[in-house]
Amino acid sequence: MIEDALADGEKQMQKAGEALQRELAAIRGGRARPSLVDHVKVEYYGSTLPLNQLATVSAPEARLLAIQPWDRQTLTAIEKAIQKSDLGLNPSNDGHVIRLAIPPLTEERRKELVRMVHKKVEESRVEVRNVRRDCLEELRRLQRQEHVSEDDEHRAQERLQKLTDRYIGEVDRLGQDKETELLEV
């Protein structure tokens, strides 16, 4: 029972870290990365699909993304989806490939993005702590119902704290890496 509670808590903490990683990948830094357009949804023959399911996205240069659709008829739909997205980028279409030039960030915009990263990191820390709280409540409930001894509960709490520290460290590392990337000129 303790193992189940700890395994469930670890899985939820891991999901919080993965969610943060996806959110940070969507923040546009100074470099072109194919993951910048992962969240762009394209209207294609009546259904909405992620851009990476309709085209090959590559970064041939540090400040350029190239999007090559598998079906040329989707070029205009992809272009419209990029314009509607929150990227703030203007696509250039040559009939075969869509190019997205990534402009350099201003110092003010860099600081604003760093603040956004700090906010997202703090939200993830809170999420990890909430998972710890829920897991602790489950452990205490098991102990109150006399399914586990006090000693076992105490050891499980120590293991849970180590898990929490590990995942909060992971979240902090992800945030620090993104901050370093954003401040790089």
Q: Mind listing the pLDDT tens digit for each residue in 100-151?
A: 888 887 888 888 889 999 999 999 999 999 999 999 999 889 888 888 888 8
Which are the contacts of 70, defined by CB distance < 8 A and separation ≥ 6? Answer: 54, 55, 56
Q: Which domain covers residue 150, as residue numbers? A: 2-25+106-183
The count of structural domains within the chain is 2
End-of-domain residue from the set 79, 101, 123 = 101
Domain with residue 40: its CATH number is: 3.30.1360.40
Note whether 16 and 39 are same-domain residues.
no
**SS3 of residue 32 by DSSP:** coil
Cα–Cα dist 67/111, whole Å: 29
Confidence of residue 185 (pLDDT cuts 50, 70, 90): low
What pTM was estimated for this model as a whole? 0.72
The domain that holds 138 is classified in CATH as 1.10.132.20
Please check whether residues 179 and 115 belong to one and the same domain.
Answer: yes
Residue 83's nearest CA partner among 22, 40, 36 is 40
- End position of a domain, from candidates 86, 101, 116: 101
Q: How far apart are CA 27 and CA 182, in angstroms?
A: 9
Amino acid of residue 59 = A
**Same domain, residue pair 43 and 10:** no
Does 61 lie in the same domain as 21?
no
Of the candidates 77, 75, 99, which has an alpha carbon nearest to the alpha carbon of residue 89?
99
Q: What is the DSSP string of 65-108?
A: EEEEESSGGGHHHHHHHHHHSTT---EEE-SS-EEEE-PPPPHH
Q: Examine the domain organization and report whether 68 and 12 are in the same domain.
A: no
